[in-house]
Amino acid sequence: MPAIDIALSGDEVQRKIPYVLIYETMSSCKWRTQTRKKKWIKMFTEHERRRSIILYRQASAWAVKGSVPKILGMTAETYDLWQKLGSFCSTL
C-alpha cells in the first residue's frame, strides 16, 4: 500500500479537489468527442488514464451523495492527478 503523503479535511477536499467539475465533465456529452479523446491520449499516460477512471468513480460517488469523507488521505501522485484531471476538464 502506498504511503499517505497528503491528508485533507472534508472542507479542504471541497476547496482543493475539483471532483464536481470532473464528475460533471466526464458525465457530459463533452467527454464523448473526438477532440477530447485526442487531447486525452496526448496529455495523459496510459497509467494516468486508468487511474483517472478510478478518480471519476470516486468523484461520482461524492457528487451524487453530496458529501466527502471527513478526512481523506492520498499520495502526492494522486493529488497531482486530481489537479491535472480538473485542469483538463476545465478546458473542454
Measured CA to CA, the distance from residue 52 to residue 22 in angstroms comes to 10
C-alpha distance from residue 9 to each of 46, 50, 59, 73 (Å): 30, 26, 16, 9
Measured CA to CA, the distance from residue 58 to residue 70 in angstroms comes to 15
Domain boundaries defined on the chain: 6-90
**Predicted pLDDT of residue 3:** 84
Mean pLDDT to the nearest integer, 1-16: 91
**What does the mean pLDDT of the chain come to?**
95
pLDDT in tens, 37-78: 999 999 999 999 999 999 999 999 999 998 999 999 999 999
